[in-house]
Each structure stands twice: as structure tokens, then as C-alpha cells.
């Protein structure tokens, strides 16, 4: 069950409201790299967690933290919109800076939300929940979470560069820090479960008899004119899962048939010539 405090998790200060930066910040709320995504992803993973309950607890606790991030980012968006132009006189100023604002801000911040945050990304595309990755497999989920936090920290770092506002830089430095921890805590779960070798391949419960293992350890070069790129994945060393050795197949060959579906059946809605 959830509870709420009337205060924000972190102080939000905007020294120079900037409606264009408000649009940029939306990516951190409603983008695939944003906070709605991680809040919901961790919450759904927690609701489906089976096995040791400590992982479920971690997930729900961090989901709760991410909800707080949505909240203070939403406040930051609204503060950046406080002085945005609301009528044609304000908007049509010949001042090029205003011109750029009108071109650069999200018009729905005026038209639809009345100067407030929306659950959309920097292009105004609403977040959709297909990005909530929760597989029921803790290995796949932890990688998905580290991925999400990496995308989040890349985004926060870029936003940090794109503003000169001291308040915004301070808030973003907090987000960058929390994304650092979150990246590492999800990978730490893999450590906790025995490390990469023990966890891989994901799922590690698939019987080897279900796997055509002669195809499990070669890098496939599908190019007709490029050399196989060399690296850990081709160096003959032990694969990460400890079950095989990395090699390469330098020339890919078809192993299958020419596909042929024959003629179309009557009543299938095809043209007569296909039957």
C-alpha cells in the first residue's frame, strides 16, 4: 500500500523559467528513458516477483522512489512554464528569442495542460505501457532495469548540458546520482544470485536438451565483404556462461529450404490466379 508526504523528495528551484527546457524535461517524465517507465516497471516486476522476497521488496521500494521523481520533475516542468506566452501579443513579438520559444516549446503545454507537466515525451508522444518490461525472470528483469537506468543517466547528463539554470542543474545532478546507484543495485542483484556465470544464459532453467548447443557459441558473420570483427566474442576464450568457447563462423550459409506455401486455398480471399 502506498503513502505520500506533502513535501518533494528533492528541492526544485528554477531561476529562469524556460518553456523550451520544459519540453526537454518531458523526456525524463514520459520518455522511454523516463521516470514513469521505471516506476511502473519496478512495480509490475515486484507484483510478479517469485522466489526470495527481498528482491520484491527492493523493487517496490525503488518503484516508490521513482514515483517521487515523477513528482518533482513534474513540478520542475510547471515552474519552467510559469511565464510562457498565453496570447498572440506575447507570442508574436518580433524578438527572435521569443520567436524561438514559440517555435520550440510544446504548444500543448499551453493548449492542453495549462502550463503543467504531461505524461508525454519531448516530442509530445504519450508514454505507453508496452515499455514496462517484467518477464517473471529475475535475470532478464535486472538487465532490463540496469538498461533503463543507463538510458536514464544518459538522458539526465544530456539535459544537464542543455541548461544554464543553476536550480535545474542541481536537480539533475541528484537524478544523475540516483541513476548511478540504481544501475549498480540492479547489477548487484545478479552478483547476489551468484554472478553473471551462474545467471547465464537467461533463463538458466532452460534444459540443455532444449537448445541446439552447436549453435550457441559462434559469432555469425553475415557480411559478404567485411572481415569478422575480432574481440572477446571470437577469441576462443570461455564464454560468460562457462558452458562453451567463443568462436566465429566467418561465412554464413543458409541451412534451410526455399520457402514455398504452394497455392492459395479457395475461400481464402486470394486472387483466382493464386489458386
Smallest separation, CB 75 to its own copies (Å):
4
User: Nearest CA to 25 among 97, 80, 71, 66?
Assistant: 80
Report the residue from 14, 19, 38, 153 that binds its own copies according to the rule CB under 8 A.
153
Q: Which is nearer to its own copies, 31 or 38 (CB)?
A: 31
Smallest separation, CB 51 to its own copies (Å):
3
Residue 5 is a binding residue for its own copies (CB under 8 A): yes
Residue 214 is a binding residue for its own copies (CB under 8 A): yes
C-alpha cell of 114?
A: 495549462
Report the residue from 19, 22, 27, 38 that binds its own copies according to the rule CB under 8 A.
27
Q: Which is nearer to its own copies, 38 or 62 (CB)?
A: 62
C-alpha cell of 94?
A: 518580433
Sequence-distant (6+) residues with CB within 8 A of 114 are none
Is residue 73 within 8 Å of residue 35, measured between CB atoms?
A: yes
Binding residues for its own copies, how many (CB under 8 A)?
196
Torsion of CA 245, 247, 253, 256, to 10 degrees: 10
Residue 17 is a binding residue for its own copies (CB under 8 A): no
Smallest separation, CB 191 to its own copies (Å):
5
According to DSSP, the β-strands at 218-220 and 247-249 are parallel
Q: Which residues pair with 120 in a beta bridge?
A: 126
> Which parts of 65-124 interact with its own copies (CB under 8 A)?
65, 67-68, 70-72, 74-75, 78-79, 82, 86-89, 91-92, 94, 96-97, 99-104, 106-108, 110-124
> Which parts of 32-61 interact with its own copies (CB under 8 A)?
32-33, 36, 40, 43-44, 47-55, 57-58, 60-61
Q: Which is nearer to its own copies, 38 or 78 (CB)?
A: 78
> Which parts of 216-275 interact with its own copies (CB under 8 A)?
216-226, 229-233, 239-241, 246, 252, 254-275
Report the residue from 19, 38, 80, 139 that binds its own copies according to the rule CB under 8 A.
139
> Which parts of 158-197 interact with its own copies (CB under 8 A)?
158-164, 169-170, 172-174, 176-181, 183-185, 187-189, 191-194, 196
Measured CA to CA, the distance from residue 171 to residue 160 in angstroms comes to 9
Measured CA to CA, the distance from residue 100 to residue 93 in angstroms comes to 10
Torsion of CA 151, 36, 11, 182, to 10 degrees: -40
Backbone angles phi, psi at 33, to 5 degrees: -90, 10
Q: Residue 105: helix, strand or coil by DSSP?
A: coil
User: Nearest CA to 150 among 126, 186, 194?
Assistant: 186
Amino acid at each position: 500500500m502506498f503513502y505520500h508526504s506533502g513535501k518533494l523528495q528533492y528541492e526544485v528551484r528554477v531561476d529562469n523559467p524556460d518553456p523550451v527546457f520544459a519540453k526537454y524535461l518531458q523526456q525524463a517524465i514520459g520518455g522511454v528513458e523516463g521516470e514513469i517507465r521505471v516506476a511502473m516497471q519496478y512495480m509490475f516486476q515486484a507484483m510478479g516477483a517469485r522466489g526470495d522476497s527481498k528482491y520484491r521488496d527492493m523493487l517496490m521500494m525503488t518503484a516508490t522512489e521513482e514515483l517521487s521523481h515523477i513528482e518533482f520533475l513534474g513540478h520542475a516542468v510547471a515552474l519552467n512554464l510559469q511565464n510562457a506566452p498565453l496570447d498572440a501579443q506575447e507570442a508574436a513579438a518580433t524578438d527572435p528569442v521569443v520567436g524561438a520559444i514559440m517555435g520550440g516549446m510544446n504548444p500543448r503545454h499551453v493548449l492542453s495542460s495549462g502550463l503543467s507537466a504531461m505524461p508525454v515525451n519531448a516530442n509530445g508522444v504519450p508514454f505507453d505501457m508496452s515499455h514496462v518490461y517484467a518477464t517473471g525472470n529475475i535475470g532478464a528483469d535486472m538487465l532490463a532495469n540496469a538498461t533503463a537506468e543507463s538510458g536514464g543517466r544518459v538522458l539526465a547528463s544530456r539535459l544537464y548540458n542543455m541548461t544554464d539554470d543553476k536550480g535545474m542543474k542541481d536537480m539533475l545532478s541528484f537524478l544523475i546520482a540516483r541513476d548511478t546507484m540504481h544501475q549498480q543495485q540492479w547489477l548487484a542483484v545478479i552478483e547476489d544470485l551468484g554472478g553473471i556465470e551462474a545467471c547465464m544464459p537467461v533463463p538458466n532453467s532452460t534444459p540443455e536438451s532444449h537448445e541446439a548447443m552447436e549453435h550457441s557459441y559462434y559469432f555469425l558473420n553475415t557480411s559478404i565483404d567485411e572481415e569478422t570483427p575480432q574481440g572477446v566474442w571470437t577469441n576462443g576464450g570461455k564464454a560468460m556462461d562457462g558452458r562453451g568457447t567463443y568462436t566465429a563462423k566467418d561465412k554464413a550459409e543458409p541451412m534451410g529450404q526455399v520457402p514455398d506455401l504452394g497455392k492459395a486455398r479457395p475461400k481464402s480471399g486470394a486472387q483466382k490466379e493464386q489458386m
